[in-house]
């Protein structure tokens, strides 16, 4: 094997003088490994096709759907069609190419399903989800090597489900590797008229480490990883319905830019709960736990380019790319590429600083719709200034300050932006000034605004493409908030240090005439100092060791809980597990909750990155109430307290 020095020399020649980092070397070895393994299997591995879940499998005749499934092994390319390939297990129809996701099983309620499933592997497979819905989640069908089974059953209740298989023993180190993509959608439509929809299946696999490279996490939506996911195109004002299936074992907070979406139903691979019109929750970020499904509906009110993505930075970072040489070095943002994309905007080439669980959405103008009128009144103006501070240990921190008229509020050493307060219906202008050494951009998370101001590099329209804010530069965002609630402003830069360093803060929208009561309206923003799912250093309002929060018993408080940690699904608790406090849920993501969710319950919450929750809290009496935020993956914990007087 080449020496480390020799490898650097080879890479220097390949990269043409670009900076070489340890990450570059890691990717170089990974590419060599993937190329070698691909060559070894190229002759005996069939190509696996990507399935966009548009065409149903099998043959429907006289109310009977007949499907012949096979479990096979082949070569899958999660990015470009000539990109790196991985040898994985996949479902396919007999006599047809295997697919990722597996063949779509779609039928109306009342249909009889006759399915034959054959295991073409040389190892045992256990198949789940080929049964009437709802069904038993533990009831799997074991198939030995080269064994097949015929099954007949009624489709069951309408809903969004999936089928899946495992060839590894549960808990085995090989789990979610070769067999991670043995999944396929199972959709039961109701009788009568069927509303058009799209099916989006999320999945994750792990490529194990070896002597040449570390383990790799490969993520995809409908078999592709951004920037190779299917670009979606809709029309302004169109009603859009998606069925989203998280077939992976991990959670994904799925965030939609620029619009709220309604949850029509939620479930898993065997069951579903549908909500009546008045019971549907509106969100901008839904934390889909492993195995969860949802049907969502939304309506874009603004033209331009938008995103639907997992809000964990680790799942949208350019480091999520399957190792490709030209992505291993150089700046995260390439102005030349963005400039070129300006001329070819429909190709969505400009959003070049993300990868992984991302969908790009182009919203076209509605025919005949008049352009929006300019602001009729003088806007409420702010300045947001981002500056570097001294490094804190290994992690750099940044100072965010806000100027409103003659008033200046700074985050000082807390390493988090101050809370900004605006008013519903009032035109607002915020000028962001970047004093960092790297480009940045600010996303106004949860606000329904024009795409150009949304804060995603390469967003906007063909005539106005959203730029990065270069070092020493500035950008003015303009919007008029149309609803009161709890929102967030945060960096949308690919540089993870900006998020761990505190380039984020709460953005509160109040009703007209309402005054912000800082005594009874408390903001609690969770963060981490590391961009890592196993982050150990958790912060609250930018502090590693926050002081006590002083409250008065008998008085009502609004607690606005926000998670802006890059990769944290946090367990938030007031009181102890044995003696929890209670609170009343009132809002999520800036939208009031439907009546079924406005409940008084234990003050515990699982909150993922990009989510906000509002609670009404009334301390029962004087004393101390523990406050704890825990990373459930490694039990790292931030401990604080509320002192009630």
Chain segment 404-422, per-residue pLDDT in tens = 887 888 766 667 899 999 9
566 by DSSP, 3-state: which?
coil
44 band by pLDDT with thresholds 50, 70 and 90:
low
Task: For residues 606 and 617, give the distance between their C-alpha atoms in angstroms, rounded to a whole number.
Answer: 17
177 band by pLDDT with thresholds 50, 70 and 90:
confident
Write out the H or E segment, with its range, that includes residue 13: helix 4-15
Percent of the chain with pLDDT over 70: 84
Predicted local confidence at residue 213, as pLDDT: 53
Alpha helices, DSSP H, located in 296-433: 335-343
Domain with residues 373-516, CATH architecture:
Sandwich (2.60)
Task: For residues 510 and 518, give the distance between their C-alpha atoms in angstroms, rounded to a whole number.
Answer: 13
**At residue 337, does pLDDT exceed 90?**
no
71-127 per-position pLDDT tens digit: 999 999 999 998 888 899 999 999 999 999 999 999 999 999 999 999 999 999 999
**At residue 40, does pLDDT exceed 70?**
no
Max intra-chain CA distance, the chain: 77
Q: Are 347 and 218 in contact (CB under 8 A)?
A: no
Predicted local confidence at residue 521, as pLDDT: 97
Q: Are 443 and 490 in contact (CB under 8 A)?
A: yes
Q: Are 84 and 31 in contact (CB under 8 A)?
A: yes
Task: For residues 398 and 505, give the distance between their C-alpha atoms in angstroms, rounded to a whole number.
Answer: 12
pTM of the full predicted structure? 0.89
Every domain of the chain with CATH number 2.60.40.420 lies at 46-313, 373-516, 518-645
Kindly report the length of the chain.
645
Pick from 104-108, 399-403, 511-515: least confident: 399-403
Predicted local confidence at residue 129, as pLDDT: 97
Q: Which among 314, 296, 81 has a CA at the least distance from the CA of 204?
A: 314
Higher pLDDT: 82 or 31? It is: 82
Task: For residues 86 and 506, give the distance between their C-alpha atoms in angstroms, rounded to a whole number.
Answer: 42
**At residue 181, does pLDDT exceed 50?**
yes
**Beta strands 183-189 and 102-108: pairing type?**
parallel
Alpha helices, DSSP H, located in 443-557: 496-500
Alpha helices, DSSP H, located in 394-539: 496-500
Task: For residues 323 and 33, give the distance between their C-alpha atoms in angstroms, rounded to a whole number.
Answer: 10
251-284 per-position pLDDT tens digit: 999 999 999 999 999 999 999 999 999 999 999 9
Predicted local confidence at residue 375, as pLDDT: 65
Q: What is the CATH number of domain 518-645?
A: 2.60.40.420
Q: Which tokens go with 165?
A: 């298989």
Domain with residues 46-313, CATH architecture:
Sandwich (2.60)
Cis peptide before 101 (omega within 30 of 0): yes
Task: For residues 98 and 89, give the distance between their C-alpha atoms in angstroms, rounded to a whole number.
Answer: 9
Distances in Å between the alpha carbon of 551 and those of 419, 582, 617, 641?
Answer: 19, 15, 10, 11
């Amino acid at each position: 094997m080449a020496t480390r020095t020799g490898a650097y020399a080879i890479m220097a020649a390949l990269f043409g003088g670009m900076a070489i980092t340890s990450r570059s070397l890691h990717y170089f070895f990974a590419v060599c490994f993937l190329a070698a393994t691909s060559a070894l299997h190229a002759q005996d591995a069939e190509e696996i096709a990507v399935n966009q879940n548009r065409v149903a499998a099998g043959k429907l005749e006289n109310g009977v759907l007949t499907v012949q499934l096979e479990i096979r092994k082949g070569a899958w390319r999660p990015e470009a069609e000539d990109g790196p390939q991985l040898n994985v297990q996949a479902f396919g129809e007999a006599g047809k190419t295997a697919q990722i996701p597996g063949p779509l099983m779609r039928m109306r309620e009342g249909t009889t399903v006759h399915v034959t499933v054959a295991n073409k592997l040389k190892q045992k497979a256990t198949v789940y989800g080929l049964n009437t819905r709802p069904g038993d989640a533990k009831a799997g069908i074991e198939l030995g090597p080269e064994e097949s089974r015929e099954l007949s059953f009624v489709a069951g209740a309408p809903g969004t489900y999936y089928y899946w298989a495992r060839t590894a023993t549960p808990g085995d180190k090989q789990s979610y590797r070769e067999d991670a993509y043995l999944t396929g959608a199972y959709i039961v439509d109701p009788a009568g008229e069927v509303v058009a929809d799209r099916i989006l299946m999320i999945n994750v696999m792990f490529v194990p480490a070896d002597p040449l490279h570390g383990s790799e996490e490969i993520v995809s939506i409908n078999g592709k990883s951004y920037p190779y996911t299917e670009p979606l195109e809709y029309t302004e004002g169109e009603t859009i319905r998606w069925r989203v299936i998280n077939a992976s074992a991990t959670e994904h907070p799925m965030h939609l830019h620029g619009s709220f979406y309604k949850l029509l139903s939620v479930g898993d691979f065997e069951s579903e709960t549908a909500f009546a019109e008045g019971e549907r929750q509106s969100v901008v970020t839904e934390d889909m736990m492993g195995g969860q499904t949802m049907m969502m509906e939304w309506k874009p009110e603004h033209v331009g380019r938008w995103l639907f993505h997992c809000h964990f930075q680790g799942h949208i970072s350019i480091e999520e790319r399957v190792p490709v040489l030209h992505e291993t070095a150089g700046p995260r943002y390439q102005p030349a590429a963005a400039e070129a994309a300006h001329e070819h905007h429909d190709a969505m080439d400009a959003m070049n600083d993300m990868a992984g669980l991302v969908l790009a959405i182009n919203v076209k103008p509605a025919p005949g719709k008049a352009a929006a009128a300019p602001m009729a009144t003088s806007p409420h103006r702010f300045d947001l200034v981002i500056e570097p501070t001294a490094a804190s240990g290994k992690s750099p921190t940044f100072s965010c300050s806000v100027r409103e008229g003659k008033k200046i509020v700074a985050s000082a050493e807390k390493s988090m932006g101050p809370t900004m307060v605006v008013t519903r219906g009032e035109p607002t202008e915020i000028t962001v000034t970047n004093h960092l050494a790297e480009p940045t951009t600010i996303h106004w998370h949860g606000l329904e605004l024009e795409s150009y101001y949304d804060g995603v590099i390469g967003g906007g329209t063909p005539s106005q493409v959203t730029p990065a804010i270069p070092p020493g530069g500035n950008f003015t965002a303009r919007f008029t908030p149309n609803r009161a609630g709890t929102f967030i402003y945060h960096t949308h830069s690919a540089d993870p240090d900006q998020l761990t360093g505190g380039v984020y803060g709460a953005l509160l929208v109040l009703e007209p005439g309402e005054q912000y009561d800082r005594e009874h309206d408390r903001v609690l923003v969770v963060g981490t100092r590391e961009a890592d799912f196993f982050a150990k250093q958790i912060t609250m309002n930018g502090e590693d060791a926050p002081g006590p929060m002083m409250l008065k018993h008998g008085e009502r408080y609004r607690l606005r809980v926000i998670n802006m940690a890059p990769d944290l699904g946090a367990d938030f608790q007031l009181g102890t597990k044995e003696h929890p406090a209670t609170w009343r849920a009132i809002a999520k993501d800036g939208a009031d909750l439907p009546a079924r969710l406005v409940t008084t319950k234990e003050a515990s919450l699982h909150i993922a990155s990009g989510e906000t929750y509002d609670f009404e809290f009334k301390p029962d009496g004087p004393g101390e109430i523990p406050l704890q935020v825990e990373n459930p993956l490694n039990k790292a914990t931030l401990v604080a307290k509320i002192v009630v007087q």
